[in-house]
Amino acid sequence: MAGVLTGEEVQDVVEIVNRHVERADLEQLLYTALDKQLDDYVEADVWRTQVFQLVRKANNQGFVVELLKALAESELLPPDKRARLAALAASVAARPAPEARRAEPEAEAEPGPAAGFATRAAQWLSVRSNRILVAALLAYAVVLTTIASIPVSASLMVKSSAEQRQQAVANGRVSASDTRPQYSPPRPGFSIHYGDYYYAVNGSGDARLTLSPFQYLGAIVAGRISLNVQYPGGGNTPAVQGFSGFSIAQIQLEKSSDDPGPSDTMGLLWDEGGHGLAAASSAWSLVGPAQAAPATGGRLFVQSVAVDKSAGSAQVDATLSAGGASIPLTALGIDLSSATQAQLPVVPGAIAVQNFQSFFALPQPSLAGGATITLRTSGSLFSAGYAESFNLPDAMALGKPVELTGSAGGKMVVQLAYPIDVVFFERQNTPAMTDKLTPLVAAAGFATRLNTKSATVPGSYNVVYAGADVPIPALQKVLKVFLDNGVDIRSVQPRLQLRNGLQNQIQIGSSSQAACLPPLTAEQRARLLGSEADFDGVASRPGNTC
């Protein structure tokens, strides 16, 4: 039997696979090269955590050398990474197998490690506290040692750079006169590393960790917990956070990344060559043709919020009261494919910027007018809790940021939008155009997203895709912004079953398959913005790609 990877080598392999390999390709490689099913080894929803689980189990179950060889011999990785994994496979194969742990005789009266730790903690406390507190801790320990794992919550916020702050002010999400520090939830791809696991951070900056009773009691007694924040680019930052009850004190990063390379802000929705992953078939879609329906209603996004330090919490409950109904706040997941009820991340005493992440789902956009948003935290034996209400104006315009003042002096900026996302697939030649277009698209009433996966690849915007749920009039609104501001659109492809399954997206990017098409004539550009029949005559023209 071969040896095993070290912890550092496991992390190295995880970073290589996470950065260069897609799930479908790894799934096929495992099946064809190793006769194994990926789903038998992974449980998490986040791709990076899945990779970690696979590599760790391969390491523990004795097939890590075969996995490394298969990756090194495939065409999925760059040559230097393939060479790195081939050398690593040879090194591990030459190492001696780890010695099996000898079974120790079981002591009849010896408590387990968690119970023993709890007892020692109680003895330490008995010198410094009264017997009632010691008895309570012992009883607590007895209960905890019967539980396999204990969930605790964590929250991550990142301090905005000067450039990001200026952009937030320019887009109306933050008041220029508000000089408080500015934080926002991290971009997708962050995780918290604790023990043997990486815990994904969702779009609101939240993560849920599981601790063993031993780990939990250690954190309770110490009043703190040590962990690492993992950046999307592979770097990490150690953090020692306060710990009480079932929550970890909010982690506040001073910078968003230590990786100078492009960031995976949206996951790979197009391939590395920039070709849109769209197809007439619904094989990759989460919404079949018969189920596809135009996106309706509206989203009232909370773009930023600043509350007083008296809020005393990293998360607050948020509800919108409108038309006799109470609507909870929802937040988009990392892959943007779903929205679930969530709390609103705040940084007491500072500004927390959301930027099209947390929203109230409205059956009708008009419901936002005259509505009230209430923020609240639960009280406790020592605190009365926090509550503050924000009243919206009677009329709300799509795409226009509105600043609200709360009943306790807090500040909030909200923005009404269509339930449709416009995704910019950045290329080497597009940043200036992206910066020009994003505020204009937002002002037209759409949430904007950025994908920088291929930001180092040359190319200019020339193609627009729209998912099956995007109504043609909504697509035309976005096309008008593009055409009026100098985008050389060569191809428009509507009503597609996007292979990423997110059918409420309009995607703009660069495609070599569209670059060879002739520019649109003035007549064609006008017809794209005309009746639906005129639109179809241009969007569905023969030779839409070449």
What pLDDT does 45 receive?
A: 66
Q: What is the DSSP string of 208-243?
A: EEEE-HHHHHHHHHHTEEEEEEEPTTS-EEEEEEEE
Query: Mean pLDDT score of the chain, rounded to an integer?
Result: 78
AA letter at 381: L
Closest CA to 231 of 262, 208, 204: 262
H helical segments located in 40-112? 47-61, 64-73, 79-94
Residues of the chain with pLDDT > 70: what percent? 77
Taking CA atoms, 532 is separated from 205, 388, 484, 496, in Å, by 41, 46, 19, 16
Rounded Cα distance between 264 and 345, Å, is: 22
Question: First vs last Cα of the chain: how many Å apart?
Answer: 53
> Among the listed ranges 42-46, 207-211, 502-506, which one has the minimum average pLDDT value?
42-46
Above 60 in pLDDT, residue 543?
A: no
Contact 460, 429 (CB under 8 A): yes
Helix or strand run (H / E) with residue 198: strand 197-200
Pick the residue with more confidence: 123 or 176? 176
Looking at residues 309-335, what average pLDDT do you find?
82
CB of 439 closer than 8 Å to CB of 170 = yes
- pLDDT of 476 > 90? The answer is yes
Mean pLDDT of 78-93: 85
Identify the residue with better confidence: 69 or 288: 69
Angstrom distances, CA of residue 61 to CA of 56, 58, 64, 66, 470? 9, 5, 8, 11, 47
Q: Which CA distances in Å does 213 have to 13, 51, 117, 164, 247? A: 30, 27, 10, 41, 15
Any idea which of 94-103, 379-388, 452-461 has the lowest mean pLDDT? 94-103
Top-confidence residue, 408 or 255: 408
Exposure string for 95-129, b = 16+ CB within 10 A, e = fewer: eeeeeeeeeeeeeeeeeeebbebbeebbeebeeee
* pLDDT over 70 (residue 111): no
| Nearest partner of 16 among 229, 270, 234, 236, judged by Cα | 234
- Which stretch of 161-175, 192-206, 315-329 has the lowest confidence by average pLDDT? 192-206
List pLDDT tens digits, range 226-272.
Answer: 998 887 666 778 888 888 888 888 888 876 554 433 333 222 223 22
HEC profile of 473-525: HHHHHHHHHHHHCCCCCCEEEEEEEECCCCCCEEEEECCHHHHCCCCCCHHHH
The owner of tokens 């309570």 is 136
pLDDT of residue 276: 33
pLDDT for res 106: 39
492-535 pLDDT per residue, tens: 999 988 877 788 899 999 988 888 889 999 999 999 999 999 99
Which residues is 413 bridged to in the sheet? 304, 403
State how far the Cα of 17 lies from the Cα of 5, in Å rounded to an integer: 15
Q: Quote the pLDDT of residue 109.
A: 41
Q: Which two tokens stand for residue 63?
A: 């097939």
Question: What's the pLDDT band for 277 if we cut at 50, 70, 90?
Answer: very low
Per-residue confidence (pLDDT) for residue 291, from 0 to 100: 28
pLDDT at 275: 31
- Shortest CA distance to 463 belongs to which of 407, 420, 392, 520? 520
Q: What is the DSSP string of 10-58?
A: HHHHHHHHHHH--HHHHHHHIIIII---GGGT---SSHHHHHHHHHHHH
pTM, whole model, 2 decimals? Answer: 0.56
Residue 542 in this model has a pLDDT that exceeds 70: no
pLDDT, position 274: 31
d(CA 251, CA 42): 28
Q: C-alpha angle with apex 55: 51 to 56, nearest 5 degrees?
A: 115
- The token pair that represents 404 in the structure block: 């609200």
Interval 353-381 mean pLDDT: 86
Q: Which residue has the higher pLDDT, 260 or 484?
A: 484
Least confident stretch, 40-54, 168-182, 189-203, 265-279 = 265-279
Q: Are 493 and 278 in contact (CB under 8 A)?
A: yes
**Tokens at 375, concatenated:** 């923020």
